[in-house]
Amino acid sequence: MFEFKIIKKDKKTKIRAGVFTTPHGIIKTPMYVPVGTQASVKALTPNDLKEIGVQIFFSNTYHLHLRPGEKLINKFGGLGKFMGWNGPTMTDSGGYQIFSLGDRLEEKNPERTKLIKITNDGVKFWSHLDGSTHFFSPEDSIRIQHDLGADLIVAFDECLSYFLTEKEVEKVLPRIHNWEKRSLDYHKKHSKGKQFLYGVIQGAAFKRLRKISTDYITSLDFDGIAIGGVANAGESKKAIYDVINWVIPDLPEEKPRHLLGVGEVDDIFEIIERGIDTFDCVIPTRLGRTGFIFVSPKEGNLKNRFRIDIQKAKWASSKLPLDQNCNCYVCQNFTRAYVHHLFRTRELLAYRLASYHNVYFVINLSKKIRESILKDKFNVMKKEWLV
């Protein structure tokens, strides 16, 4: 049911292009995976996603467990059927929420209420919705993900903050590895081969610990390998790329590699160059909702981070499309002045048009990068963009 086939490999770098076959369709890698936390890529319909060229999206176990519940989604035939999407899907394990709801962010936000308590067996947490208490063990996370029925699922881990010291990370790493082993064992016993499980490499910003985690995760029989904990609490881009550099050489060639939570425009070049196959990221949709619009060279560059703020007064009467080199529905039909107006007036269409364009932009960028890889022109394209 699952097959990951590498169709092109670069001799000098770690770059590769592949075809990943899943029960609900194929993913041509490398490819961006948009995030649709609550069984919805915010503001976009499944039909939009098809038009845009989205091949798979990423949803969230924590949120769907709390609302509407995995049992209900299972009754409707799983995540895809529930929301009217017939393509491949992926779910996160809930591990990231342990981080984002937890007290490890205290340095950054001291007033934040502690919503979690971690034990060796799992994590007790208080719902951000109504304060009710819940418990996730690794087995719970995988069971829920089985009920949700996404094609690609993720072992239960704990996303570690970059504020932790090497000693602190070293102390919790065995617990994370234990959770992942238990995730795998439970999955092997109950999955019936319908779902594809990723193990997650952790270790924060420490080369030695990333190495230990890589060795351990690759020693287990996970279907795919994910790299986590690189995009969370204020780490630099260099730190993100360093972690990938440390980890990739020790990964098996034949397993697909997913990078969790990274995907600004320049990152996309850097991570694909380092051997990543798929990557999810909230940036295109989140920035879209707050009025930041992706633009291509030459208007877009490293300095402006390939984005304009459509809410700024300078666009109030601009007849330009959102991006001057984009073929998406929004850019073909609307002006910056109009989208500016929609944001200023808080019309719901603003979020939809901005999300549509931004997701299209990153999907299209991924496709073009893949084509450049197939033609041995990746470096040429990278230079055109990251001048």
Partner RNA sequence: GUGGAUGUAGCUCAACAGUAGAGCACUAGGUUGUGGACCUAGAGGUCGCGGGGGCAGCACCCGUCUUCCACC
Residues acting as catalytic residues: 92, 280
Residues forming contacts to RNA in the complex (CB under 7 A) are 34-37, 41-43, 58, 60, 92-93, 95-97, 99-100, 154, 157, 159, 200, 202, 226, 228-229, 231-232, 234, 237, 240, 260-264, 267, 280-283, 285-287, 289-290, 292, 305, 309, 311-314, 344, 346, 348, 350-351
What the block records as the tokens of 330 is 């929004």
CA distances from 386 to 12, 164, 382 (A): 20, 32, 6
Nearby residues of 69 by Cβ (< 8 Å), 6 or more positions away? none
Kindly give the interhelix angle for 237-247 and 207-219, rounded to the nearest 10 degrees: 40
Least Å distance, CB 253 to RNA, is 23
Burial class (CB in 10 A: 0-12, 13-18, 19+), 81: middle
Cα distance between residue 339 and residue 320, in whole Å = 11
Cα Rg of the chain (Å, integer): 20
Cβ-based nearer residue to RNA, 113 or 374: 113
Count of all residues that appear for the chain in the document: 387
Virtual CA dihedral for 241, 244, 248, 249, nearest 10 degrees?
Answer: 60
| C-alpha closest to that of 201 among 142, 247, 252 | 247
- Pairing relation of β-strands 307-309 and 133-136? unpaired
| C-alpha closest to that of 65 among 87, 90, 93 | 93
Cα distance between residue 105 and residue 233, in whole Å = 8
Question: Does residue 357 contact residue 287 with C-beta atoms inside 8 Å?
Answer: no
Q: Which residues pair with 35 in a beta bridge?
A: 58
Q: How many other CB atoms are found less than 10 A from the CB of residue 374?
A: 12
Cα distance between residue 82 and residue 149, in whole Å = 10
Cβ-based nearer residue to RNA, 260 or 272: 260
Least Å distance, CB 219 to RNA, is 19
Cα distance between residue 160 and residue 104, in whole Å = 8
Least Å distance, CB 354 to RNA, is 10
Least Å distance, CB 311 to RNA, is 6
Least Å distance, CB 201 to RNA, is 10
Cβ-based nearer residue to RNA, 226 or 331: 226
Least Å distance, CB 38 to RNA, is 7
Least Å distance, CB 217 to RNA, is 12
